[in-house]
Amino acid sequence: MKSFDAIVIGAGQAGPFLAARMVEKGMKVALIERKFLGGTCVNAGCMPTKTLVASARAAHVARNSAAYGVNIPGEIAIDMKVVRARAETVTMNARNGLIGWFAGMDGMTVISGHARFEDPKTVSVNGETLTAPRIFLNVGARPVIPDLPGINDIDYLTSTSIIHLDRLPRHLAVIGGSYIGLEFAQMYRRFGAEVSIIEHGPKLASREDEDISDAIADVLRSEGIDIHTGASDIAFARSRDGITVATDSARIDASHVLIATGRKPNTDDLGLDAAGVITDKHGYITVDDSLATNVDGIWALGDCNGRGAFTHTSYNDFEIAAANLLDGDDRKVSSRILAYALYIDPPLGRVGMTEKQARASGRKIMISTRPMSRVGRANERGETKGFMKVIADAETKKILGAAILGIEGDEVIHGIIDAMNAGTTYPALQWSVPIHPTVSELIPTLLGDLKPV
């Protein structure tokens, strides 16, 4: 049996950085990863997909360049092998960077293999037994494959496998109208494929307010994407030219199918029962406000704990655990103000409550909206789709939430994120003097238009 001061299972966006901090403190740490260092973000998530989004935007800009007085003769062609290679290069550079970083750390032992608990302080991997007083789980999540008629008879894609395509689909059917599905739908439409989105619910991006969901649908439809919401009785069958996707109201002749119906935690094969670690009905590991599980000496970080599904929330889990365990702090997950983005184009930046959540809270609220068509930067760039929206507490004057669907919305939202984290009231933020011409310069104007509802 090999002994360590800590064992980290999973090398996503929390575990490796926590392991590095512990090594800096002179601890002996084992980092176990069954597949690739960097987790979903580096290998099948943010980095490769946003690289693909950049290629798709380049194609879109080239096709529409004449409107800006730039004439490109001939048809805009897409070389999917180059597109794929570029994304793979970004991934490999990041992964190899982690490999080199860990190799230079005394006290760090990186093990490639599948770890399972033997008891609360012991794990087995590759036929060896390891023990430590502290064990951290950062095992991430994977795509959910729904049990739909005919799904096992077709060769479907997931968010992991689609990034490796090196040829353009004739017609991509996207099953699921949430964030992952929407990004790939617009991306492949811009590459030149026909695209259909099939969503069981009544709206795309159902976690958003209806006005945001409707605006997202308008953006995608304007680019020629076929959207089917409220779809039921979804079934698949092989056809002469590819795959037939049938619903209660539509029949789609697709060449490729992307299943984008959510994700589930990689917790079902860790031997959690042997350690006594409790999970909820969806398989997420139950943690308290400090990310500790019900078993003393075991913590769960990142996607597998159900307290966030983003790279930045996973990294914040590392920050919380490191602050509490290594720096004598008392940070809590409940103090985190959730923010995220949807990387269609234009992007959606979101923070805090939706309007629906704010109304349901019983607070007296104020709301302001402003179309992007009234933003100077948007007009100058010829990108006026979307709108800004902010919700505030009428009594405390604190900002409760905001959504910016529009050009640079994923960056502009940070002004509001920072204000909310600092506890700044909206009247104080209203007196800021932003730079002109930017999208951010409209935030004081947006706040000035807040009205009670």
Which residues participate in catalysis according to the annotation? 436
Amino acid present at 270 = L
d(CA 83, CA 164): 10
Burial grade of 283 (CB within 10 A; 0-12, 13-18, 19 or more) = middle
| DSSP code per residue over 285-353 | BP--TTSB-SSTTEEE-GGGGTS--SHHHHHHHHHHHHHHHHS-----GGG---EEEE-SSS-EEEEE-
Closest alpha carbon to 285 in 312, 309, 304, 259: 304
Nearest 10 degrees: Cα torsion 327, 333, 335, 340: 120
| Cβ atoms within 10 Å, residue 119 | 11
d(CA 422, CA 222): 38
Nearest 10 degrees: Cα torsion 152, 160, 308, 34: 100
Nearest 10 degrees: Cα torsion 3, 26, 290, 363: -150
Cα 89 → chain centroid = 21
Whether 250 and 375 have beta carbons less than 8 Å apart is answered as: no
